[in-house]
Amino acid sequence: MSGARAAMEGVFAGDRRELSELEIAPQAALADEVRALIEAVIHTEVPETELREAAAAVAALTERLNTARRNRPPAARLGVNGMVKALGSPVTGVLNAIAPPIDVVTLEDGSVHAEFTLTDVYEGPPTFVHGGVSALILDHVLGAAAAANGTPGMTATLDLRYRRPTPHGVPLVVTARTVRNEGRKTWADATITGPDGRVTIEATAMFIFPAT
């Protein structure tokens, strides 16, 4: 028993503690600061004594935040359609400092779309986005397209064609749409496009709503 069905239902069930936008704001601001901290940690050249002091200060902050903890990452119903959003998502989660975060919107034609810029925190080859990070983003938006079609599922297959390197530090566009559904299976296509309008990655995925 994989528990995949329960996991899938949990995404949309809204059985998690749901935060209001007012509750989210100060925690999202904290996540923004941590994002800046991650970037600073990678690039800093301050002396060793300052690094040790900074590490102790961060450890003290972590201890302070852990004095009151949730059991699971929270969710919220946001936007006009009130879709449940996982605030801790590594792609879209405004409370997750490792998420860019990407704001995925569903368009009237059922496709999903996001405009975003990645920093060099997500670098693979110098000046370009890590291919695994692109795969993460594409998996998510493909899944969002399947869900927007009313046919959500777990990723069963994910095929990627890296046509040219994806640059970081410039505006990128990701779009995805559902192309086919047969029973529990849903197929979706997606692309990432660079600022010159050229597609850098094409992706196709198949999602399965788990039997159990």
Ligand X SMILES: CCCCCCCC(=O)SCCNC(=O)CCNC(=O)[C@H](O)C(C)(C)COP(=O)(O)OP(=O)(O)OC[C@H]1O[C@@H](n2cnc3c(N)ncnc32)[C@H](O)[C@@H]1OP(=O)(O)O
Does residue 30 touch ligand X according to CB under 6 A? no
The least CB distance from residue 207 to ligand X, in Å, is 7
Report how far residue 120's alpha carbon sits from residue 157's, in angstroms, rounded to the nearest whole number: 28
Look up 32 and say whether it is catalytic. Answer: no
Cis peptide before 125 (omega within 30 of 0): no
Report how far residue 148's alpha carbon sits from residue 89's, in angstroms, rounded to the nearest whole number: 17
x/- string (CB under 6 A) for ligand X, residues 146-185?
-x------xxxx----------------------------
Tokens 């749901």: give the residue. 18
The least CB distance from residue 179 to ligand X, in Å, is 16
CA pseudo-torsion sign 30, 118, 140, 83: positive
Does residue 76 touch ligand X according to CB under 6 A? no
Q: State which H helix or E strand residue 115 sits in.
A: strand 112-117
Report how far residue 12's alpha carbon sits from residue 73's, in angstroms, rounded to the nearest whole number: 14
Residue selected from 139, 151, 166, 189 as contacting ligand X according to rule CB under 6 A: 139
Does residue 1 touch ligand X according to CB under 6 A? no
Does residue 208 touch ligand X according to CB under 6 A? yes
For residues 30 and 154, which CB has a smaller minimum distance to ligand X in the complex? Answer: 154
Residue selected from 4, 121, 135, 160 as contacting ligand X according to rule CB under 6 A: 4
Catalytic residues: 139
